[in-house]
Structure 1
Amino acid sequence: MLLTGEYAGGDKVSAAAGDPPTILYAGRLIAEKRVDLLLDAFALAHGDDPALRLLIVGDGPERERLAQRAASLGIETAVTFAGFVPETTLDRLFAQATAIVQPSAREGYGMVVVEAAAYGVPVVVVEAPDNAAVELVEPGSNGLVAAPTPAALARTIAALRHDNPQWRARVAGWYAANRTQLSLDHSLRTVAGAIDGYGSLTAPVPAD
């Protein structure tokens, strides 16, 4: 595969996790993102760790239903639906998150995995046949992959909450080791090199 990376955001400033510990979801609130699965999992994690908070950034047709779901689970005071936020605010929220959770059933690349790693923040993605983000997670290095059940996802959230400074150090190391091949610039240069090489192989042979 020629396109090894699509990230064009550059390096970010890492920080310690904020207080209270906060799980961050950022994306559209549509059915295929499976935010309802995240809410069910968070309810379990919060039951064992009442200090934990969930911040949902983004908007979409599922927002009202999801807010009602949070209320039915009894976690409405621990969950914030922030809607869309300015890019500078999102940068700060990413940097201070305890973990980024992306429960989506379908991702074409998984940019959130790379963006989280650029901040040194561990990420959780959820198994699904069409979720390419799973391929970017090296369990134990930059995050974890959960089975698509509330209990399994809750366990991964708890794991990233535990020893979070050590997790952040491992993620920063993973990003440092992989930053070049994850960049869009590297992909474009790879493609350009391949095109040049193909051109040299197919160039007409000069006549004598």
Structure 2
Amino acid sequence: MRIALIYDMIYPYSVGGAEVRNYSLAKRLAEQGHEVHLYGVKLWKGPAMIKKDGISIHGVCRYTQKYNFKGNRSIFEPIKFSYYLFKSLTKEKFDIVDCSSFPYFPAFSCKLYSKIKKVPLIITWHEVWRDYWYEYLGWKGVFGVIIEKIVSKLTKNIVAVSNKTKNNLISLGVNKKYISVVYNWVDIKEIKKIKGSKKKLDIIYAGRLMKHKNINILIKSVYLAKKEFPDIKAVIIGDGPEKTKLRALTKRLGLEKNIKFMDFMLKEQAYGFMKSSKLFVLPSILEGFGIIVIEANACGLPVITVKHKRNASADLIKDYNNGFVCKLSEAHIAEKIIILLKDNKLRENMSKKSIRNAKNYNIKNIVTRLEGIYKQCSGN
């Protein structure tokens, strides 16, 4: 099959859960003999189309800026991407197009292409924001709510990455028979090969530094845990509009020797730091799946996350098994950190259970299922 995967950001030039998912999917499908094309924004030097790992990667335009001065996604950049995406897509004929729902506007380009070329369209939903739009954009969030609902009606071929995302789509009025739940995955074999970093750490976080990730709560938790463990070591890997504020908070709390910030890196490097850490903390309130939880588990790390109606990653955790789910509070998170750092035997036991849990999300079986959905939709 000729398959087009659409998302404005492309790994390894941008690092995030959706980017890593799409790239690993494309690579796996290419290894199985499919012709796979990734379409996104051009984030690299050189020609607009490059070949990498058997994948054709298309950069259809450049973004001037991804976020505005408030730290929110720019609206106009995805509109520009959608225009150039349509122009680029119409030069090709694919058997299937799989477009990530966010940032919404590209889904309209893909729908138009699907109609003109009579090509099946799948829209993959990583998360559904619903009323979170109002927290993100204030009163302007009403436009996000409307566009999200319209996009949910563009196709009857829908992939949701978690049951929570499926249920949220149903709440938008999507017929449940149109939705296939296909969990995100990890490559267990790849992770096994990675050696731990020489830098020994207690706590690690890796991901975007966005407001909803609540990394300020993590920093305050480290401040509280430091009273029990004065030499506690944490690393925060990632980038985003909150980084300057988070660095300032770290300095204000006197944690500069305890918390180190590192820029985004290739996932293999991040796995190395995970393997040299004792636990992972994810205080995010907005996760459509939370692949980083499974990646951390695969590296042997119990994960501390928070209970919230929008946080699907909490569904991946069982207390005292592969992590803890607690309230969004520095005191509660610090309490769980202290439990794991104090009790080596408990942590080692949970580490083994974490690795076993990650095996349920191995890439081979899950990608095979997604490939089957592609074949069914395209008639191949």
TM range (shorter): 0.7 to 0.9
SS at match of 1:175: helix
Q: 1:111 to 1:87 in 2, by over 3 A?
A: closer
Tell me what 1:202 maps to. none
* 1:9 correspondence with 2:187: yes
- Structure 1 gaps of 5+ residues are 198-208
Which of 41, 51, 72 is 2:231 aligned to?
A: 51
Q: 1:28 to 1:192 in 2, by over 3 A?
A: closer
Q: 1:190 to 1:80 in 2, by over 3 A?
A: same
Determine the C-alpha separation between the residues in 2 that align with 1:32 and 1:117: 22
Tell me what 1:183 maps to. 362
Determine the C-alpha separation between the residues in 1 that align with 2:309 and 2:291: 17
Tell me what 1:61 maps to. 241
Q: 1:55 to 1:113 in 2, by over 3 A?
A: same
Determine if contact 1:45/1:154 at 8 Å carries over to the other structure. yes
SS at match of 2:186: coil
Determine if contact 2:197/2:273 at 8 Å carries over to the other structure. no
Determine if contact 1:126/1:145 at 8 Å carries over to the other structure. yes
Determine if contact 1:118/1:175 at 8 Å carries over to the other structure. yes
1:35 aligned partner, one-letter code: I
Determine if contact 2:205/2:236 at 8 Å carries over to the other structure. yes
Tell me what 1:136 maps to. 316
Output one character per residue of 1:166-191: Cα deviation in whole Å (capped at 9) or x when no partner.
Answer: 42343323433661x32343234446
Please report how far the alpha carbon of residue 162 of structure 1 lies from its aligned counterpart in structure 2 after TM superposition: 2.2
Q: 1:88 to 1:183 in 2, by over 3 A?
A: closer
Determine the C-alpha separation between the residues in 1 that align with 2:363 and 2:196: 27
Q: 1:53 to 1:176 in 2, by over 3 A?
A: same
Please report how far the alpha carbon of residue 7 of structure 1 lies from its aligned counterpart in structure 2 after TM superposition: 1.0
Determine the C-alpha separation between the residues in 1 that align with 2:270 and 2:277: 10
1:183 aligned partner, one-letter code: N
2:236 aligned partner, one-letter code: I
When structure 1 is superposed on structure 2, of 35-44 and 170-179 the one drifting more is 170-179
Find the structure with the greater CA-based Rg.
2
Please report how far the alpha carbon of residue 84 of structure 1 lies from its aligned counterpart in structure 2 after TM superposition: 1.8
Q: 1:91 to 1:17 in 2, by over 3 A?
A: closer
Aligned length: 196
Tell me what 1:163 maps to. 343
SS at match of 2:350: helix
Tell me what 1:71 maps to. 251
Determine if contact 1:17/1:98 at 8 Å carries over to the other structure. no
Determine the C-alpha separation between the residues in 2 that align with 1:194 and 1:90: 31
Determine the C-alpha separation between the residues in 1 that align with 2:216 and 2:281: 12
Determine the C-alpha separation between the residues in 1 that align with 2:348 and 2:276: 11
Determine the C-alpha separation between the residues in 1 that align with 2:226 and 2:207: 22
Determine the C-alpha separation between the residues in 2 that align with 1:131 and 1:10: 24
Which of 196, 204, 210 is 1:24 aligned to?
A: 204
Tell me what 2:155 maps to. none
The percent of aligned pairs where both chains have the same amino acid is 26
Q: 1:161 to 1:4 in 2, by over 3 A?
A: farther
- Structure 2 gaps of 5+ residues are 1-162, 164-179
Bigger relative contact order, structure 1 or 2 (CA pairs below 8 A, ≥6 apart): 1
Q: 1:174 to 1:47 in 2, by over 3 A?
A: closer
